[in-house]
Amino acid sequence: MENKAYYIILEDAVLLSKKQYADWREIQDEYYETYKTNFSPLTCDELLQYFKEDYKDEAACPFSKESIIKFFAGDDLILYGEIR
């Protein structure tokens, strides 16, 4: 099975999470104070494509392409990114 991660948008940051959640409410409960929204679990390729389309300027993207690829290949469950 291919790794997938949620893209979670908070008021003050964004993150990728490989944690398994039952639904968006569980994510909201975990990040209640600053939660805004999240995307359903996406593969590495799907996330890279999303960021490529959504952030025409790669420097504005909250994650570098390399950090996303490394995150999916590694054991970390959470990758934090800055809102720029």
List, for residues 16-64, the tens digit of each pLDDT value: 999 999 999 999 999 888 999 999 999 999 999 999 999 888 888 999 9
Give the tokens for residue 13: 């940051």
This prediction's pTM: 0.88
Alpha helices, DSSP H only, in 1-84? 24-30, 44-54, 65-73
**Spatial distance between the Cα atoms of 83 and 80, rounded to a whole number of angstroms:** 10
What letter does residue 23 receive in the DSSP assignment?
S
Residue 59 belongs to what domain range? Answer: 5-81
Domain count for the chain, please give it.
Answer: 1
List, for residues 16-26, the tens digit of each pLDDT value: 999 999 999 99
**Spatial distance between the Cα atoms of 27 and 78, rounded to a whole number of angstroms:** 13
